[in-house]
Amino acid sequence: MRLINNLKFIVDNNVGKLAKWLRIMGYDTLFFDGINDSRMIATALAEGRVILTRDTQIMRRRVITSGQLKAILIKGDEPELQMRQVIDTLNLDCRFRPFTICLECNQLLVERSKRQVKDLVPPYVFQTQNQYMECPTCHRIYWRGTHWQAMTKKLNKLTQYQRKEEEF
Ligand SMILES: [Zn+2]
């Protein structure tokens, strides 16, 4: 029962860190400021997004109890445990489309050539990196530097956990 690859999310501010993780994996994920629950639900319904929240009130809404809208009540305190719960519940693929979405604004990144970013990245980056992506909205440039490597390592850890579970 893998697949479900085109899942989209809306993340409540009480589990805000999940937004970054899901974007790292390549899932279209909105961050909700937590002010107006009804607006979050309306957006989720209109755009077909799964709600992630720690708010039990939201889980009692009829639109959710009836199954019309999918929501997951997040249990753990640790972002990593929370992420595992989401991955396990929805059977998400950790290697879905890693590093294709801007971590800040949830926009699809666009590939850039080395020449195009010459004046936009630090010289040491330019010398050592060949692949670049740019966010069309905030114009942040992404490359596979140390930050990228650290995140990949964490993602792999979550994947390994997944594999181990499957073996038993
Ligand atoms: Zn951006």
* Residues 108 and 99 sit within 8 Å (Cβ to Cβ): no
CA 20 to ligand 1 center in whole angstroms: 12
Residue 18 has pLDDT above 80, yes or no: yes
Phi, psi torsion values for 42, nearest 5 degrees: -65, -45
> Average pLDDT for residues 61-90, to the nearest whole number?
93
Percentage of the chain lying above the pLDDT 70 cut: 90
CA 102 to ligand 1 center in whole angstroms: 5
What tens digit of pLDDT does each residue of 122-147 get?
999 999 999 999 999 999 999 988 77
Pairing of strands 8-11, 49-53: parallel
CA 1 to ligand 1 center in whole angstroms: 32
125 Cβ contact partners less than 8 Å away, ≥ 6 residues apart: 143, 145
Residue 92 to residue 162: CA distance in whole angstroms: 10
Stated pTM of the model: 0.85
Q: What is the pLDDT of residue 68?
A: 95
CA 5 to ligand 1 center in whole angstroms: 22
CA 103 to ligand 1 center in whole angstroms: 7
Lowest mean pLDDT among 19-23, 42-46, 94-98, 157-161: 157-161
The token pair that represents 119 in the structure block:
């004046």
Helix (H) / strand (E) element for 158: namely helix 146-167
Phi, psi torsion values for 160, nearest 5 degrees: -60, -40
